[in-house]
Amino acid sequence: MAVSRDSDENEIWDLRCLMAKDSEQMLRKLPSVDALLKEPEFEGAARGVIVDCVRLAVDRVRELLVSQEEELEEDSIRLKVIAEAKQLIKETMRPYYRKVVNATGIILHTGLGRAVLPACAMRQIQDEMGGYSVLQTDTETGKRSKREQRVESLLQQLTGAEAATVVNNNAAATSIVLNTVAKDKEVIVSRGQLVEIGGSFRLPDVMAFSGARLVEVGTTNKTHARDYANAITEETAAILRVHPSNYKIQGFTSEVPLDELVAIAHENGLTMIDDVGSGALIDFSRFGFEPEPTLTESISKGADIVTASADKLIGGPQGGIILGRADLIDAVRKNQFARIVRVGKLTLAALEATLKLFLDEATALCEVPTLKMLTRDAGEIVREAKRMASQLSKKISGASVTTIAGFSQTGSGSLPAQNMATTLIAIKPGKVGAESLAKQLRQYRIPVFARIQNDQVLIDPRTLLDGEGKIVVEALLDILGGKD
């Protein structure tokens, strides 16, 4: 039985057939992968990379031709494939973990590598870690030693702890400590301290993984000493205090001070574990911040084990610090999981160099980038913001550039709800749009990360390192164009 079509359907059918025929003719013009591999433009790169990128480039141009977005001659198609392949090769071969400019004003930006390492840490890695290096062998005896030996001695000197060790992050530190002292036993924690850290990792889950059994006491906003005392049983191994470094409860609240928790724990033969989170080695309250527990304070008040991050308020490489009684630290070292979470030579070298700066507090404040940004002079930020805004205003057309008051953040769960006043460069890019401008900045030859608010791109000088203001200005001028 014949199928009838009206005139409109026939026209559509004819058009589809014509488009298919055109696409087929265009696809015949695509050069073969073998032919492309002989092009001189592809000499020098790794053969495997070239083959993969050329194949992907051919596939992309084929999709373009099929979509009929462009009609090209054979030579133009070949050149387009070559250009696409060269770009893919460039993207594949350049470092993925590379320098970016952090103009967000978030000092410990997890997505951008968190703490900027001190210059001395980078020098130590470059000068001492390029070949073989002392890691786990005693130079006097020639025998095996503790790999974190030097870091331990520095932490002992800085905090007064009997012993110390290092693992790969603070979550690992908490897990291995709980597994060591409380496996199959109960650990008491205030309900208001059951935090969730980045990546949806929750303290109750970390505790379950460690083999310890969580016992919640108190309420979200208030926990009393009697709550801890009443929860102790024969199965209790430890009390855990978790500093809520990534959030803050305000108002009708109270938590039991550390020295009272230590007294309760020790009166009942329990281990007192203090997770101080950000791991401050100096008192930040004198810089206008609210009091933050320090490692020294925790040790001096009698905590048996203290855990903290190395890459937050210490400003070092990613790591988890474990301090405390020598017998407990020795037990942690002997734990079967210690090898799983141990750190390598680069981390230890960077941490050694960073910790040495804290032997003189004034030196640390000058040379640890995290501390420099936290304490950066407001007047200096204003001057830098106005200087950059003036340069941009004189040379950019079609965009509004002003300076406005704003706030910087510590980030990574440190000093929560304690914003720092700053001065921002605010760019309203007009037709380009804030989202598009921010994307182009991220894709600049040196990626620049900024904030977007109220259809403006915001640049915060607080987190710009030396010379990076010039990079930001150049990027914006390249993207937005100059005045005639």
Q: 139 with 214, same domain? A: yes
Contact at 8 Å (CB) between 277 and 224?
no
> What is the C-alpha separation between 105 and 423, in angstroms, rounded?
10
User: In the predicted model, what is the mean pLDDT of residues 32-56?
Assistant: 82
Q: 333 with 349, same domain? A: yes
Q: Could you tell me the CA-to-CA distances from 128 to 311, 316, 348, 350 in Å, in that order? A: 21, 17, 12, 11
pLDDT band of residue 200 (cuts 50, 70, 90) is: low
How far from the centroid of its chain's Cα atoms is residue 28's Cα? 48
Quote the pLDDT of residue 144.
92
Q: 238 with 123, same domain? A: yes
Residue-wise over 293-316: b if at least 16 C-beta within 10 A, else e?
bbbbbbbebebbbbbbbbbbbbbb
Q: 41 with 141, same domain? A: no
pLDDT digits (tens, 9 = 90+) for 96-148: 899 999 999 999 999 999 999 999 999 999 999 999 999 999 999 999 999 99
Q: 78 with 178, same domain? A: no
With 90 as the cut, is the pLDDT of residue 194 above it? no
Q: Which residues, in sequence order, are bridge partners of residue 457?
A: 427, 452
Of 122-131, 160-169, 252-261, 408-417, minimum mean pLDDT range: 408-417
The pLDDT > 70 percentage for the chain reads 89
Q: What CATH number did the domain enclosing 396 receive?
A: 3.90.1150.110
Quote the pLDDT of residue 273.
97
pTM of the model as a whole:
0.86
Identify the H or E element spanning 83: helix 74-93
Residue 351 lies in a domain: yes
Q: 68 with 217, same domain? A: no
Quote the pLDDT of residue 291.
82
Q: Which domain holds residue 19?
A: 9-93
pLDDT digits (tens, 9 = 90+) for 245-266: 655 666 567 888 999 999 999 9
The CA-based dihedral angle spanning residues 367, 369, 371, 375, taken in that order and rounded to the nearest 10 degrees = 100
Q: 52 with 169, same domain? A: no
Total domains, the chain? 3
Q: 360 with 397, same domain? A: no
With 80 as the cut, is the pLDDT of residue 389 above it? yes
Q: 417 with 308, same domain? A: no
pLDDT band of residue 33 (cuts 50, 70, 90) is: confident
pLDDT band of residue 18 (cuts 50, 70, 90) is: very low
Quote the pLDDT of residue 191.
87
Q: 333 with 432, same domain? A: no
Residue 244 lies in a domain: yes
